[in-house]
């Protein structure tokens, strides 16, 4: 990777590849503008240079470009939220003051973006395209999924905002725990497990005492690991005694954890993760929240690759709440083996085509193994 002196960085620079500090710590992902605050932090930490394999693609202070299409605008918006939350996570880690108002602002903007760019955001979550910023990415993804579920439940607007805010903060207590315990790959001792479980209490203290956020947000962060059957923590409460927002975030958090790539395991396909949720059987999750999650995500979430009974491969492009097993799909490879470029394959509404049905979900690797690589899945 090439080195770039910090003194040469300018606010607004965008690179085609991620920019790293000391070779492994992500400063910004590809496509995200470097902010003045980023540069100030580097100087405060006495960092002399950063590294990247990328090139500058948009000059400083240019906010639009004729080659930027709607999908890339959505992606930039998604990355922007991750970047914002990552900066807040840094402030929490280093004990720096945080403006409470910033969470109201981010929650409102994220909710608006989810409403306008729902399919794109779900695709980004399932695609796992963003590398680095693991905590911030998880918080943003969980907030997006929680927002969609809360809207499906037809909760009042202020309640949805509280849920989005709680989701953005639900795991920040982890930032107050020893890094060697949080990142440990092997089994945890009983003492270490207790420390991990204490993250809900650290988060609650931060939300209520430091950020002065509403008690509704505090209830979400402290209760999101409680279980429907009463076997959760920290208080082992059960059923509807658990705050509804916490029940929503619990489902979204579990799904996000299953579909996200971790250093120690591969992600599950969206379909397999959904199957795991549906098999819960009143153990961890509120069944009504599960129903709402299925209605908004579908049994085969947006972006899932599926095999039809005809032998054709397709990608799910839109789910239908009243027919979760029969989404709208775009053909990738037809039954004769013809491979289509992006968006060139037929768009089919399975709800209206009774002769076709989904035979099974497909791991994208399966297509690669068959050497059907003409389409980028």
CATH code for position 279: 1.10.3210.10
In a domain, 317, yes or no: yes
Per-position pLDDT tens, the chain of length 377: 788 888 888 887 888 777 888 766 778 777 677 888 788 888 877 888 888 888 776 544 433 433 334 557 888 899 899 989 998 998 888 888 887 777 888 999 999 999 988 888 998 888 766 777 889 999 999 999 999 999 999 999 999 999 999 999 999 999 999 888 888 877 888 999 999 999 999 999 999 999 999 999 999 999 999 999 999 999 999 999 999 999 999 999 999 999 886 655 566 788 999 999 999 989 999 999 999 999 999 999 988 889 999 999 998 988 888 888 899 999 988 998 888 876 788 999 999 888 999 999 987 667 656 544 444 44
How many domains, in total, are found in the chain? 3
Give the range of the structural domain holding residue 7, as residue numbers without chain letter. 1-61
What are the angstrom distances between the C-alpha of 99 and each of 103, 106, 164, 211? 8, 11, 17, 7
Contact of 239 with 264, CB cutoff 8 Å: no
Same domain, 243 and 317: no
Same domain, 157 and 57: no
Q: Which residues of 250-269 are buried (b: 16+ CB within 10 A; e: fewer)?
A: bbbbbbbebbbeeeeeebbb
Give the sign of the dihedral formed by CA 206, CA 209, CA 214, CA 219. Answer: positive
What's the confidence (pLDDT) of residue 65? 36
Same domain, 47 and 144: no
Q: What angle do CA 89, 92, 96 make, to 5 degrees?
A: 125
Same domain, 55 and 79: no
What phi, psi does 198 have (nearest 5°)? -70, -5
| Single residue among 250, 275, 297 that ends a domain in this structure | 297
Torsion angle defined by CA atoms of residues 302, 150, 237 and 191, in that order, rounded to the nearest 10 degrees: 50
In a domain, 377, yes or no: no
Same domain, 57 and 172: no
218 preceded by a cis bond (ω within 30 of 0): no
Q: Who contacts 130 (Cβ-Cβ below 8 Å, separation ≥6)?
A: 29, 78, 79, 82, 124, 137
CA distance 37 to 308: 50
Same domain, 117 and 157: yes
Same domain, 248 and 349: no
CA distance 25 to 23: 6
Q: Which helix (H) or strand (E) holds 235?
A: none
In a domain, 177, yes or no: yes
**pLDDT tens-digit map of 184-196:** 877 888 999 999 9
| Single residue among 265, 297, 329 that ends a domain in this structure | 297
Same domain, 72 and 171: yes
In a domain, 376, yes or no: no
List of E strands, 281-374: 305-308, 313-318, 328-333, 347-349, 358-362
In a domain, 259, yes or no: yes
- DSSP secondary structure string, 153-214? TT--HHHHHHHHHHHHHTTGGGGGS-HHHHT--SPPPHHHHHHHHTHHHHHHHIIIIIS---
CA distance 305 to 81: 27
Comparing CA positions, the residue from 51, 62, 60 lying closest to residue 23 is 51
Task: Give pairs for 181-185: CB < 8 Å, separation 24+.
Answer: 185/263, 185/264
What phi, psi does 235 have (nearest 5°)? -110, 0
CA distance 350 to 358: 9
Same domain, 159 and 265: yes
In a domain, 374, yes or no: no
- DSSP secondary structure string, 262-288? BTTBPPPPHHHHHHHHHT--SSSS-HH
Same domain, 209 and 240: yes
Residues, the chain: 377
Q: What angle do CA 234, 187, 254 make, to 5 degrees?
A: 50
Question: CATH number of the domain that 50 lies in?
Answer: 3.90.105
Same domain, 39 and 75: no
**pLDDT tens-digit map of 203-231:** 999 999 999 999 999 999 999 999 999 99
Structure-token match 């299953």, residue found: 258
Strand, helix or coil for residue 106 = helix
In a domain, 322, yes or no: yes
| Single residue among 266, 297, 328 that ends a domain in this structure | 297
Tokens at residue 136, please? 């911030």
């Amino acid at each position: 990777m090439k080195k770039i002196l910090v003194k040469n960085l300018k606010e607004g620079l965008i690179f085609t590849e991620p920019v790293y500090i000391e070779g492994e710590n992500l400063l910004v992902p590809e496509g995200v503008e470097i902010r003045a605050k980023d540069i100030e932090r580097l100087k405060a930490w006495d960092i002399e240079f950063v590294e990247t394999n990328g090139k500058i693609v948009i000059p400083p202070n240019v906010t639009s470009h004729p080659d930027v299409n709607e999908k890339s605008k959505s992606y930039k918006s998604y990355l922007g939220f991750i970047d914002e939350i990552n900066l807040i996570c840094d402030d929490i880690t280093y004990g720096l003051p945080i403006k409470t108002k910033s969470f109201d602002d981010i929650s409102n903007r994220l909710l608006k973006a989810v409403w306008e760019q729902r399919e794109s955001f779900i695709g980004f979550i399932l695609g796992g395209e963003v590398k680095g910023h693991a905590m911030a990415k998880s918080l943003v993804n969980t907030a997006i999924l929680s927002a969609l579920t809360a809207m499906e439940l037809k909760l009042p607007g202020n309640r949805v905002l509280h849920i989005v805010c709680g989701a953005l903060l639900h795991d920040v207590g982890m930032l107050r725990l020893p890094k060697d315990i949080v990142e440990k790959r092997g089994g945890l001792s009983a003492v270490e497990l207790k420390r991990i479980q204490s993250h809900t209490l650290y988060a609650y203290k931060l939300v209520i005492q430091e950020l002065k956020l509403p008690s509704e947000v505090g209830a979400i962060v402290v209760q999101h690991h409680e279980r429907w059957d009463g076997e959760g923590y920290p208080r082992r409460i059960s059923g509807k005694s658990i705050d509804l927002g916490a029940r929503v975030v619990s489902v979204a958090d579990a799904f996000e954890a299953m579909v996200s790539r971790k250093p120690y395991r591969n992600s599950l396909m969206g379909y397999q993760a959904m199957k795991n949720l549906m098999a819960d059987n009143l153990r961890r999750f509120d069944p009504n929240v599960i129903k709402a999650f299925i209605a908004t995500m579908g049994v085969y979430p947006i972006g899932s690759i599926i095999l039809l009974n005809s032998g054709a491969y397709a990608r799910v492009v839109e789910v239908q709440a009243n027919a979760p097993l029969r989404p709208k799909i775009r053909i990738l490879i037809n039954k004769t083996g013809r491979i289509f470029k992006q968006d060139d394959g037929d768009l089919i509404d399975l709800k209206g085509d009774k002769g076709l049905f989904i035979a099974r979900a497909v791991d994208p690797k399966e297509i690669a193994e068959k050497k059907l690589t003409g389409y980028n899945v």
